[in-house]
């Protein structure tokens, strides 16, 4: 069973992606075959979604299931970042990237790489 912190952060990612696509909780509930109350509970971290629900969420939110799992919870906390804000930013960037054609995606990758190389090493998060 996931920890409370993990369930909360999965919920934050789900909420950020849902909002990015302009869906209401009712819209998302309908798309995944769950109740609106179940979606609210997932987003609050009060309930951890099953694997089946995670798969349905990923399909409804047009992301791989792995995108619904936080990758750097401890790093975010130690750097004083707000997990919800960070999750929202990552979800937004991911959603934008998915809308690009191959040429634009290559350009976006080059731009992000240039930004990453320009950021001093001490400000980068370790992956």
Asked if residues 105 and 44 have their Cβ atoms less than 8 Å apart, the reply is: no
Structural domain that includes position 23: 4-121
* CATH code, 68: 1.10.260.40
pLDDT value at position 74? 41
Tell me, yes or no, whether 127 lies in a domain. no
Tell me, yes or no, whether 126 lies in a domain. no
Determine how many CB atoms are found less than 10 A away from the CB of residue 89.
13
Instruction: Please tell me the total count of domains within the chain.
Output: 1
pLDDT value at position 73? 47
Tell me, yes or no, whether 41 lies in a domain. yes
pLDDT digits (tens, 9 = 90+) for 85-104: 777 777 778 878 888 888 88
Tell me, yes or no, whether 49 lies in a domain. yes
Tell me, yes or no, whether 101 lies in a domain. yes
Token pair of 104 as six digits: 């634009």
């Amino acid at each position: 069973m996931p920890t409370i912190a993990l369930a909360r952060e999965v919920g934050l990612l789900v909420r950020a992606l849902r909002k990015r696509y302009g869906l209401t909780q009712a819209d998302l509930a309908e798309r995944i075959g769950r109740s609106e109350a179940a979606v609210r509970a997932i987003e609050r971290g009060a309930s951890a979604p099953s694997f089946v629900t995670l798969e349905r969420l990923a399909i409804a939110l047009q992301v791989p299931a792995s995108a619904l799992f936080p990758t750097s919870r401890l790093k975010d906390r130690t750097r004083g970042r707000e997990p919800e804000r960070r999750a929202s930013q990552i979800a937004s960037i991911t959603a934008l990237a998915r809308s690009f054609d191959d040429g634009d995606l290559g350009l976006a990758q080059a731009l992000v790489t240039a930004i990453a190389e320009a950021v001093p090493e001490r400000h980068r998060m370790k992956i």
